[in-house]
Amino acid sequence: MNLPQRIDFIINAFKWPAAFIALLATPLVCWSLIPLAARVAQSPWPLVPFAAGAAAFLIIWRRWLGKSRLGQFAITLEHESTHALFAALCCHRIVGFRATLESGGEVRYVGQGNWLITAAPYFFPTAALILFLLAYLLPFPGLPWRSFLLGVALAYHFVSTYRETHRDQLDLKQLGSLFCWMFLPAANLAAVGLLVSFAHDGTSGMSTWFSETARPIYWLSEELHSLTAEQTSSESEPHGPHGGANVESTYQN
For residue 83, being part of any structural domain is answered with yes
Task: For residue 224, report the phi and psi dihedrals to the nearest 5 degrees.
Answer: -65, -40
- Residue 251: the pLDDT is 35
Work out the average pLDDT over 76-87.
93
For residue 116, being part of any structural domain is answered with yes
CB 76 within 8 A of CB 99: yes
For residue 157, being part of any structural domain is answered with yes
CB 209 within 8 A of CB 192: no
Decide if pLDDT at 128 tops 90.
no
- Residue 244: the pLDDT is 46
Contacts of 32 (CB under 8 A, 6+ apart): 193, 209, 212, 213
For residue 204, being part of any structural domain is answered with no
Task: Count CB-CB contacts under 10 A for residue 145.
Answer: 20
For residue 77, being part of any structural domain is answered with yes
- Average pLDDT of the chain to the nearest whole number: 86
User: Among the listed ranges 24-38, 121-135, 156-170, 230-244, which one has the minimum average pLDDT value?
Assistant: 230-244
Per DSSP, 68 falls in state S
Work out the average pLDDT over 59-63.
93
Task: Count CB-CB contacts under 10 A for residue 199.
Answer: 28
Range with top average pLDDT, 66-75, 81-90, 131-140, 244-253: 81-90
Instruction: Compute the 3-state secondary structure of the chain and give helix, strand, coil in percent, each to the nearest 5.
Output: 75, 5, 20
For residue 60, being part of any structural domain is answered with yes
Q: Which residue range is the domain that position 143 belongs to?
A: 48-175
Residue among 170, 162, 160, 161 at smallest CA distance from 72: 160
168 vs 145: CA distance, rounded Å = 37
Identity of the amino acid at 177: S
Instruction: State how many domains the chain has.
Output: 1
Query: Tens of pLDDT along 144-180?
Result: 888 898 899 999 999 999 888 888 888 999 999 999 9
- Residue 143: the pLDDT is 75
Query: Tens of pLDDT along 203-244?
Result: 899 899 999 898 888 887 887 777 777 777 666 656 555 444
For residue 219, being part of any structural domain is answered with no
For residue 163, being part of any structural domain is answered with yes
Computed from CA positions of residues 230, 235, 238, 241, in that sequence, does the dihedral angle turn out positive or negative? Answer: positive
- Residue 7: the pLDDT is 95
